[in-house]
Structure 1
Amino acid sequence: MKNFLPVIGILLLILPVTTAAQNADEDPRAREIFEEVDQRRERIDYETADMQMIIYDARGRTRNRQIQSFSYNRNETSRSLLVFEEPANVRGTAFLTLSEGSDEVQKLYLPALQRIKIISASEQGDRFMGSDFTYEDLGDRQPEDYRFQMHAETDTSYVLRAEKRDQSQYAWLYFHVDPDRYVVEKIEYFNAQGDMIKRLEATGHEQVLEGVWQAGAMVMHDLTENRKTELRWSDRTIGTPIPEWRFTDRGLRRGIN
């Protein structure tokens, strides 16, 4: 999710026309619901925010991270940058995601090594900075990346089953969508054996534009390791242009300066 995550992440593009062949194995109404979620999300062109990441291990011990986030969405282009401010041992580490349509590149800047690492396809399932979010979780979720089926429907929730068209660490996902605000309130992640292995919960939604809501917090639960990671947003600014250099290698290296 863009911004999910950002993240997180959050959560986050004029939609391409989907062919009849692509839709032959899915429920058109389920796709329509997810596209409505995405259309509302893409109305946010620029966003900056402060983020707090809290990583809980199986014993309940915590590690805290302070992050600056920058994001941009327009037409078929999506960009997001996360820059770590605290603690000192991760200060200046930065993560950039660049999406053009269905093409995506992720880059991680490691200040201790003074180098930029491109995240490969084989690393998509790796943990991001020791958290319970993987690099795949932090990628942009485009409607055309998935096949959708309506799993369940109530007065308070649409539950969409989604299978990624390309390679994924997950066999399928369940997106729980609020039918009034068209926001994703929960995502459940399943492996090939049909076991739920992770669960993302989004809470504290606030209206940031007319008809557009953003989560104030997200928690990713790793159900196999009995641990979790929480993201909290504060000091959001919507619609203020962000300089182009922020979403470049220069922006990665420059960090919080």
Structure 2
Amino acid sequence: MTTVTYAVRDSATMLRRNVRHMVRYPSMTLMLIGQPLLFLLLFVYVFGGTMGAGLPGAPAGDRGDYLTFITPGILMMTVASVSIGTAVLVATDMTNGIIDRFRTMAIAKSSVLTGHVLAAMIQTAHALVVIFGVAFLLGLQTAASAAQWLGLVGLLALLSFAMTWFTVALGLASPDPETASNLPMIFVLLPFVGSGFVPVESLPAGLRWFAEHQPFTPIMDTFRGLLAGSPDGSDALWAVGWCVVIGSAGHLWSRRLYRTRAAG
């Protein structure tokens, strides 16, 4: 077999290992899905009436309008939330000695991290299905065409891939799982200071500038445009660009940290 074939085989083995962990210990998956789900219910039923009435262009806005507005932010938060679990699992592997055992085996070095990334993307897909299901039960309205739904799924997959690689790096950089669970929390909070829950035009000047230029705002705006059936090409280009930057940085950082920590 070629080197690539060995790498694919070993990555599939590591993927099965991580999927089995998810199946045997479902509590973390439920917790990671529960957080964005709780925010969805909280914002729709507690703040939805007032916030919906304040949306621009919706003088008769209600909870349904606000649900449509915040769903992209909840999707963003869901991807970020699941990535926290990935950071914890990577940090756990690095501190409990299993990596030393893997180093003594004839496996592709890249397969350990690749297995984590692929398993996390499967976990993220399950979480997003749950969030979409609940959102539609609550009355989410969408005018997206089949092509726009395909674009939305593709962008969510790209975002999940990028965020997972970056949080893998954070897990490798953490001295213990507790630190790894805290470092990625910034990604869960960024939708709040972007266009996730309120229009950026309503923010104070300084905060508005940050919201307009942070990576998550064009991603959430692209989600919103795709669900509405009227995506903005400029936002989409920025969204894809930010995903590529985040994913590339995370991948390169992860490889470097894995080599140095495993060698140590």
TM-score when scaled to structure 2? Answer: 0.25
**Of the two structures, which has the highest relative contact order with CA contacts closer than 8 Å and spacing of 6 or more?**
2
Larger Rg: 2
